[in-house]
Structure 1
Amino acid sequence: MSVTKNTPDFPPLDALHSLAAAQHGDPFSVLGLHKHGNVPCLTVFRPDAAKVTVLSEDRELDLTEHPEVSGVFTGTVPDAPYRLRATSAAGHSWEFEDPYNFGPVIGEMDEYLLGEGTHQRIWKVLGAHPTTHEGVNGVHFAVWAPNAKRVSVVGSFNQWDGRTYPMRLRGATGVWEIFIPSLVEGDVYKYEILSNDGTVQPLKADPVGFGSQHPPENASVVRDIGGYGWHDDDWMSERSGHNDRTAPISVYEVHLGSWRRITAEGNRPLSYKEAAEQLVQYVADMGFTHIELMPISEFPFDGSWGYQPVGLFAPTIRHGPPHEFRDLIDAAHAAGLGVLIDWVPGHFPTDAHGLGKFDGTPLYEHADPREGFHQDWNTLIYNFGRTEVANFLISNALYWLEEYHVDGLRVDAVASMLYRDYSRKEGEWVPNVHGGRENLEAISMLQRANTITYGAQPGIMTVAEESTSFPAVSRPVDTGGLGFGYKWNMGWMNDTLSYIKTDPIYRKYDHHKMTFGLHYAFSENFILPISHDEVVHGKGSMLGRMPGNDWERFANLRTYYSFMWGHPGKKLLFMGCEFGQPEEWNHNAQLNWAAAAQPEHAGIQRLVRDLNTLYREHPALHMADCDPAGFEWIEANDSDASVFAWLRKGSGDVDPVAVVCNFTPVERTAYQLGLPSTGKWKEILNSDAAIYGGGDRGNMGAVTATSAPHQGQPASAEVVIPPLSAVFLTPDR
């Protein structure tokens, strides 16, 4: 082969100096093959090379290193396909494709939608995608940084040197892209961003990255999220029935890092694949219908439990790569379980590698700390009014539903999003355009998110953790609502927990706390939550807040759970509560499974299992959870006895269920209970049964109602209500 050398007078010297200083904002105009006049000229920048050779057809051409700009190699070359070979000063050689010899990857329609800020599936375009482009394998990178002067991809593949692999700006979109040949899944990368004022920002993780390093390392990792072989077609076609307001929905909330650990292997948490077996089997056996996972999106600090995420598009690597998270979802669906994940669109942490001042400006957050800084959590608040930011969040919601077959999103801290003065004193917040406190931009974003996700993925559910009385949270957007499917009933939770921790002798003074929730129980589609927030920060465990001696504490908890499962509203229980874990939850350790094996705790666990079974098998207990026609008080005012009794009803020929609870340690041996019909009523659950740890007192399996009217009902029966217990009755057909 012939070897020739030559040096053209193109590109201009100032452009080369700018390139070598990592200041050039349009590297594709300098690097790669360009016509200078009619002469094809090639420019390569490899500061790690002493020599660069062009390999083209049957010849080799050594490029000439520029005499004034170290690392820049130039030469006139044939206008033909080529590869490059670089040789280091030590004589080491490697061949590679020139990234600057490839055209753009992002198409015109994607570019238009990105520029408009309405691309609903930005993950299809942004992020790092292993792909074949112009016949060559590699990775396409794209990131939104509209105020940057220069953006580069850096990683071990270029010694984290921002001078190499600067990206191409796609017009007015603010999106930078580059295709880098030969990179593969598993490569680690970040973005080096030069702001418009010439400041190099801290290296940034990819906002749309699909994988991350294991914390405390925080770079993004190239992950191929395509090609998973789902086996859940039947579930996906039927899931709307599982998530409907008329369905039994009983949710087991899980912090995957502390549900169960492998003590023989350094106390590590379960992998996604291990959870696909152990967690799924346990939840199904316990009779729950759904698993809710606390935030799965990648987060840097374990102590945030995932509620301060940095990688919104990356399932945390703590339990495995993305496909293994899909294994967990697939296994849950095979077992007939829906999966919800907690979604955090309200705020993000200030970690240097995160979204804060991403391109040197407050891009994702508000510039004014009165709008953009969350004082409670020392986090940054998204600028919901910026079209691209709102679209980023909505697209992320859709991403989890489409790419991972997640069945729903529980949206965290909605109240903090709805109000501009949330947790702020006067003068610390900015009113909306009408002078009010509502965050109109956040409201609009949530409405759009619900409209788009329900429209794109029918049958899913979205759930709002909203702690105020903001109206119509779970009502359709076209009637003025926020469009959520369900809302957590925080008022019910606060009132009933306040009641149950009170000594029974004083409960008659707080009787209203157990009945007040029925004044608004059907104003929203409610879920009754006993979540992780109720067993942390010094609140103790559910069992620990029960008054009395050991027997009374367990009996109180059994009665409370029975009250909850008999009450209108879907159910949610945090892990460990189902067996009455004695300690407060600790995210650094697994649940106290040794306690779960003790008889009293096993009794609580069996009761929860049976309550779930009862809830599923008796339509009156679930089909009208969100409908006032499904509830009727029998006795709401017997404060002296601390007794509550009510009917749950369905439609058509569904048998009603009568629930009666005694919240004192005094047995009611012949309590006259009004019932809607005469005849035999079966005792289908008694929380005082010996199998639950109770005294086995009750009604010998049934009571008989006579035609003696009582408590507004046409019939009545004498019922034994054991101390601190609940009894469920239904007609014996």
Structure 2
Amino acid sequence: MTEAADILYGVDADAVNALVEGRHGEPFSILGMHQGADGRYSVRAFFPGALHVEILDRDTGLPLAPAELVHPAGLFGASLLEHNAYSLRIHWQEAVQVTADPYRFAPLLGDLDLHLISEGTHYNLTQALGANSMTVDGVAGVRFAVWAPNARRVSVVGDFNAWDGRRHPMRLRPQAGVWEIFIPHVTVGERYKFEILDRFGNRLPQKADPVARAAEPAPSTASVVASSAPFLWNDDAWMDNRRSTDHFGKPLSIYEVHAGSWLRDMKDGGRALDWAELSQRLVPYVEEMGFTHIELLPIMEHPFGGSWGYQPLGLFAPTGRHGTPEDFAYFIDRCHEQGIGVILDWVPAHFPTDVWGLARFDGTALYEHEDPREGFHRDWNTMIYNLGRNEVKGFLIASALEWLSRYHIDGLRVDAVASMLYRDYSRPEGEWIPNSHGGRENLEAIEFFKHLNSIVHECYPHALMIAEESTAFPNITKSAADGGLGFDMKWNMGWMHDTLHYMSDDPVYRKYHHGSMTFGMIYAYSEHFILPLSHDEVVHGKGSLLGKMPGDEWQKLANLRALLGFMWGHPGRKLLFMGSEIGQLSEWSHDGSVDWNLLDDPSHAGLQRLVRDLNRIYRHFPCLQHGDTASDGFEWAVADDAEKSVLAMLRFDVGRRSVALVVSNFTPMFRRGYRIGVPFQGRWRQILNTDASIYGGGGIEPGDPVADDFPAHGRSQSLLLDLAPLSTVMFFVDRQEAMTGNERS
């Protein structure tokens, strides 16, 4: 028998051909060190294009044996008398490489890891799957692992192996459908993908890693080996404080931001700012404006910038558009150091169909449903996650936890919840599949949300889980234990639609739609609501927030000032999209920037100052906070004056020790001597007037009125006010101070 035959003893020709052709699903059965029937050891290595290969003693570096070319495609082998610890010296055309052999390492993933992955409860998923730097048996490298249960063969490809799928085929761990391999000497920053043969042997487009922690900036699509080193944080004070903070007892005012278009560097071709620059510009701006939180449109890696991040493919990787994961962590750190929380938009509803992404990942509908009636969104041309599959649910929950743990994120706003809750969402009759009870509710999604929110709140009690849900689905913000979905808060889309519809009307017609402004209080405490004036209202031809307002330039700005005053006085947390605080003229474009030049105009600068002062007042006065979630914190003072389009709200603190009165006049008529019944006597201090000249208004000041004994609106005392056109004014009184003042008088 020849030496080549000895080296390949026990390996049939078909297996060798499958290996060199990149079709073999069990490469460890051929490659690496194997003991033959005669007691000798064969070392086999496959290096297409190599000139020759030597087997070295791993410890001394001395040659043990030259490797013979046993197949012309690049399969080398050598025979050893003993089981030596070895390495390989590979002679290429232009270089010599010394490396450890990936095929001499035993499996690294433990049985518990594999069990939890299959069960969908491995919540540290990036520690098991993806690319993890580690040292094994004294050798530094990267362990790659990927879930692809229906593949015939999976390989890692990258710059380190010339993107040749024959070089590093992986080991299948069949109990979980996971493939793994440890590749020595691969380092942080290297690009990689997975090359997969489906069960029929067809080579699929190379796939990005579903759990990669870093990725190339779009339009490139490779995953990147991320550092596993912990970030350097300076936010201990913030983290300690939020653990002891009840977010229902605190104000919440959110500045919604698209990181790529908040500000662009026009001196550098309109380049979007990176995370370091946003730390220097955006963070102090938000702090100065008095917002409590920044909410970022999705920053998870996404192929198409025009999706604004709402079609992500890298649910564990910050987009490379603005820097590295370390840069993003630095941005969060700076926010926390300035007392600003960070909320991320997060999308578990669907993903794009790009062939290098999740779609038919191993040649089958792995992450999505097979049937397009369940698995395809016609509105968005995207695939729907199969929430009936444990591994998919675990993948999504692990993603949520990754942002909360690794990046210290303070909350997630879950996008497109309504599309997940209903099987017939945006589908005509006959093009959707009822649930097991014949209904339209998506039972798997309901259970997913309950489980997601329970796990998040168990691990991170401080975390805010916010639902973007546009229907009347009940108990969104009730705990799972009480039969709800377990979210903390929900966007009040009904309030937003009704309010903007009313405000877009010419004031002469507003009296016919007066109920639009009062209807929201009928259900205001059915959920914990956020009042959103978000990016969705200033795109796709809807115009800017200012552009929705009727009238001439002065009236538009006055209307917007009055609306914002009404919004900040109305029960519910606040959210405002970037640019609306300065009266952006044009609708938002993700390729553009907020038109900061508008601040050269005093009227736009005045609007910005108004928003800053609204935040300051909201954060200072507990009576403007308590009624956000508690019904005893709100009463209508005037709700029925449709003819004059006047609304007045009373906002109480806990125990009704103090109260704010918020009065809006939504017509361009000056209302002189308008009487409003109030609960307390004494002097009421004006704390804000949207018509003040410092905000660009007409300067009509009601002053600090004193309640007299004239009954009105069912109350024994009242205020007589002069209401400026298109304005909102706020007054405040402390009950004890009012009583003391009355006794003195």
Q: What TM-score range do you get, normalising by the shorter chain?
A: over 0.9
Q: 1:204 aligns with which of 204, 207, 229?
A: 207
Task: Tell me the alpha carbon deviations over residues 430-465 of structure 1, each in whole angstroms, 9 at most, x when there is no partner.
Answer: 000000000111111111110001110111101000
Task: Tell me the alpha carbon deviations over residues 86-128 of structure 1, each in whole angstroms, 9 at most, x when there is no partner.
Answer: 113x363221111111122212321221232321221111111
Quote the Cα distance in structure 1 between the aligned partners of 2:87 and 2:247. Answer: 58
Partner of 1:18: 18
Quote the Cα distance in structure 2 between the aligned partners of 1:293 and 1:408. Answer: 11
Quote the Cα distance in structure 1 between the aligned partners of 2:548 and 2:8. Answer: 81
Query: 2:628 is paired with a residue of what secondary structure?
Result: coil
Q: 1:712 aligns with which of 711, 714, 723?
A: 714
Quote the Cα distance in structure 2 between the aligned partners of 1:354 and 1:276. Answer: 31
Tell me whether 1:50 sits opposite 2:54 in the alignment: no
Q: 2:494 aligns with which of 491, 494, 508?
A: 491
Q: 1:506 aligns with which of 488, 509, 514?
A: 509
Q: Which amino acid aligns with 2:692?
A: A
Q: 2:85 aligns with which of 59, 81, 91?
A: 81
Query: 2:501 is paired with a residue of what secondary structure?
Result: helix
* Residues 333-372 of structure 1: pairs in structure 2 closer than 5 A: 333-372=336-375
Quote the Cα distance in structure 1 between the aligned partners of 2:247 and 2:277. Answer: 30
Query: 1:147 is paired with a residue of what secondary structure?
Result: coil
On the 8 A contact 1:250/1:289 being kept in 2, the answer is yes
Quote the Cα distance in structure 2 between the aligned partners of 1:82 and 1:240. Answer: 51
TM-score under structure 2 length normalisation:
0.96
Partner of 2:637: 634
Tell me whether 1:529 sits opposite 2:532 in the alignment: yes
Q: Which amino acid aligns with 1:680?
A: R
Shift of 1:194: 0.6
Partner of 2:742: none
Q: 2:188 aligns with which of 181, 185, 188?
A: 185
Partner of 2:662: 659
Query: 2:295 is paired with a residue of what secondary structure?
Result: strand
Shift of 1:14: 2.4
Closer, same or farther: CA 648–241 of 1 in aligned 2, 3 Å: farther
Q: 1:113 aligns with which of 113, 116, 122?
A: 116
Partner of 2:281: 278
Query: 1:657 is paired with a residue of what secondary structure?
Result: strand
Q: Which amino acid aligns with 2:655?
A: G
Closer, same or farther: CA 605–136 of 1 in aligned 2, 3 Å: same
On the 8 A contact 2:118/2:390 being kept in 1, the answer is no
* Residues 260-279 of structure 1: pairs in structure 2 closer than 5 A: 260-279=263-282
On the 8 A contact 1:155/1:190 being kept in 2, the answer is yes
Query: 1:245 is paired with a residue of what secondary structure?
Result: helix
Shift of 1:21: 1.3
Quote the Cα distance in structure 2 between the aligned partners of 1:388 and 1:115. Answer: 6
Q: Which amino acid aligns with 1:113?
A: L
Task: Tell me the alpha carbon deviations over residues 59-91 of structure 1, each in whole angstroms, 9 at most, x when there is no partner.
Answer: 34111111x552111121231111111113x36
Tell me whether 1:27 sits opposite 2:27 in the alignment: yes
Query: 1:652 is paired with a residue of what secondary structure?
Result: helix
* Residues 53-132 of structure 1: pairs in structure 2 closer than 5 A: 53-56=54-57, 57=60, 58-66=62-70, 68-77=71-80, 78-88=82-92, 90=93, 92-132=95-135
Q: 2:705 aligns with which of 674, 695, 703?
A: 703
Shift of 1:5: 9.6
Task: Tell me the alpha carbon deviations over residues 549-578 of structure 1, each in whole angstroms, 9 at most, x when there is no partner.
Answer: 111111000000000000000000000001
Partner of 1:8: 7
Quote the Cα distance in structure 2 between the aligned partners of 1:242 and 1:675. Answer: 33
On the 8 A contact 1:146/1:359 being kept in 2, the answer is yes
* Residues 187-266 of structure 1: pairs in structure 2 closer than 5 A: 187-240=190-243, 244-266=247-269
On the 8 A contact 2:637/2:713 being kept in 1, the answer is yes
Query: 1:18 is paired with a residue of what secondary structure?
Result: helix
On the 8 A contact 1:657/1:730 being kept in 2, the answer is yes
Query: 2:627 is paired with a residue of what secondary structure?
Result: coil
Quote the Cα distance in structure 2 between the aligned partners of 1:190 and 1:358. Answer: 12
Larger mean CA deviation between 206-215 and 492-501 belongs to 206-215
On the 8 A contact 1:528/1:571 being kept in 2, the answer is yes
Partner of 2:42: 41
Q: 1:443 aligns with which of 423, 431, 446?
A: 446
Larger mean CA deviation between 167-176 and 429-438 belongs to 167-176
Query: 1:391 is paired with a residue of what secondary structure?
Result: helix
Quote the Cα distance in structure 1 between the aligned partners of 2:455 and 2:534. Answer: 28
On the 8 A contact 1:243/1:249 being kept in 2, the answer is no
Shift of 1:130: 1.4
Larger mean CA deviation between 513-522 and 7-16 belongs to 7-16
Closer, same or farther: CA 242–613 of 1 in aligned 2, 3 Å: farther
Query: 1:636 is paired with a residue of what secondary structure?
Result: strand
Query: 2:705 is paired with a residue of what secondary structure?
Result: strand
Shift of 1:596: 2.5
On the 8 A contact 1:339/1:407 being kept in 2, the answer is yes
On the 8 A contact 2:674/2:722 being kept in 1, the answer is yes
On the 8 A contact 2:54/2:63 being kept in 1, the answer is no
TM-score under structure 1 length normalisation:
0.98
Q: 2:465 aligns with which of 445, 452, 462?
A: 462
Shift of 1:241: 5.9
Q: Which amino acid aligns with 1:83?
A: S
Quote the Cα distance in structure 2 between the aligned partners of 1:159 and 1:7. Answer: 31
Q: Which amino acid aligns with 1:603?
A: G
Task: Tell me the alpha carbon deviations over residues 274-328 of structure 1, each in whole angstroms, 9 at most, x when there is no partner.
Answer: 1112111000100000000000100011100000001111100000000110001
Tell me whether 1:170 sits opposite 2:173 in the alignment: yes
* Residues 604-615 of structure 1: pairs in structure 2 closer than 5 A: 604-615=607-618
Give 5+ residue unaligned stretches, structure 1.
Answer: none
* Residues 549-588 of structure 1: pairs in structure 2 closer than 5 A: 549-588=552-591
Give 5+ residue unaligned stretches, structure 2.
Answer: 738-745
Tell me whether 1:617 sits opposite 2:620 in the alignment: yes
Quote the Cα distance in structure 1 between the aligned partners of 2:405 and 2:94. Answer: 49
Q: Which amino acid aligns with 2:643?
A: D
Query: 2:259 is paired with a residue of what secondary structure?
Result: coil
Q: Which amino acid aligns with 1:47?
A: P
Quote the Cα distance in structure 1 between the aligned partners of 2:487 and 2:177. Answer: 32
Quote the Cα distance in structure 1 between the aligned partners of 2:338 and 2:94. Answer: 59
Q: Which amino acid aligns with 2:604?
A: H
Quote the Cα distance in structure 2 between the aligned partners of 1:475 and 1:597. Answer: 46
Partner of 2:476: 473
Tell me whether 1:402 sits opposite 2:405 in the alignment: yes
Partner of 1:482: 485
Q: Structure 1 vs Structure 2: percent identity of aligned residues?
A: 52
